[in-house]
Amino acid sequence: MPRVCLKAISTRLREQEPVYVGPQAKTASLLKKVSATTFGVSVGLVPVLTMLENVNWVILGTMMGAAITMSGASTGLVTWAVNPYVTRLFIPRSTDGSTEKKIGVFETINFFGRPRYTAVHLDDLVRVDGHFATLTLAEGAKTSDDGVPELVEAVGKRKWGFSRRKFYVHPELDEGFSAQMESMMKTIK
């Protein structure tokens, strides 16, 4: 069962250049926005269909149930598949310019296609060969979603969101990898 946690981005992080930019970030965001919108329209049109006159209620109920079920299923699948997609990755720097305790802030996409941030210790990441994820957290590892103070500080101001433990970054052969990102990927187990 997913835990609800708090998220947003700090001003200090917003001023930094990301070390990784997902090549399909805009496409993934648009896909989630369209999916959520079509589900909302499907649910919103159900009351309108009930106002139609001279309609067999069995047929109407079947049509409405099918529309909501299919739209809900497709929205759920899109959400499940795109949730781990990393649109940008930041490695926060302290005020003196040095890298802080190897913390990474992953920008993913929420249900509505808006940015969502999760801070993790980079030493806690493990490579995986799964569907829709290339990195996961080691057993027992904590994120900013779990309320670890130094990680929460990296993401700054907080808003509601769902906990993330898996992330997808494109392989090194794809676009978006900076030299800093390549060295970070080499250190991950």
pLDDT tens sequence across 73-129: 998 888 888 888 999 888 887 555 554 468 888 888 888 888 888 888 888 888 888
Contact yes or no for 110/116 (Cβ under 8 A):
yes
Contact criterion met (CB below 8 Å) for 164 and 143: yes
Structure tokens at 109: 């996409």
Does residue 174 have a pLDDT over 70?
A: no
Left (φ > 0), alpha (ψ -120 to 50) or beta: where does 48 sit?
Answer: alpha
One-character DSSP codes across 33-92 = HHHHHHHHHHHHHHHHHHT-SS--HHHHHHHHHHHHHHHHHHHHHHHHHHTTB-SEEE--
Q: What is the pLDDT of residues 23-79, one digit of tens each?
A: 888 888 889 999 999 899 888 887 777 777 677 778 888 888 888 899 899 988 888
DSSP 99: B
